[in-house]
Structure 1
């Protein structure tokens, strides 16, 4: 029987990884016994995959529009706008102090 070595995405340990149930979509979840982090290898939604938000930001920095990014990545427009609204609220709080003066 073939076995696949799975490493923890947080601490890179391979010897303490155990199965930890299934997600609501039926995908296998894993638990690292060293750092106690849980994760899954397969995702139902594209927006849940690691690196999706970084790809969205990279596309925006290269001049790709929000609707085009949503169409290319296969996610909703709200998923595209979410990383920017979080960052915008942080920026307005820090810049707001200077605007009041």
Structure 2
């Protein structure tokens, strides 16, 4: 039995996507054929969980609930530098945290 999965580019949401070999860890790579796409290749499942949007959102939520950096890294199974980098991004992008 064959199952078809519709693949869309995560950057430009184009459906013009072709298979483009495999990465070094064996995951299928895809290539976006849209000329205006900012990225050419991508994979559907990243190898590192710290790249997922859900994990990044959990970092912010756990920080607001009082969890420390090392605790967040241990629970989400990511590095402490990933936690710190994400917190710095949210600190600079949130207009409510800027002091005048």
TM-score above 0.5: yes
RMSD: 2.6
Query: How many correspondences in the alignment?
Result: 92
Q: Which has the larger radius of gyration?
A: 1
In the superposition, the TM-score normalised over structure 1's length comes to 0.67
Instruction: Find the aligned partners of 1:89 and 1:8 in 2 and give their Cα distance.
Output: 28
From 65, 68, 88, the counterpart of 2:71: 68
Instruction: Find the aligned partners of 1:77 and 1:32 in 2 and give their Cα distance.
Output: 33
Q: Deviations over 1:7-63 (max 9, x none)?
A: 12222222x111122222111111221144322112222123344333312321232
In the superposition, the TM-score normalised over structure 2's length comes to 0.68
Higher share of residues assigned helix: 1
For structure 1, list consecutive stretches of 5 or more residues without a partner in the other structure.
Answer: none
Match of 1:39 in 2: 42
Moved more, 66-75 or 36-45: 36-45
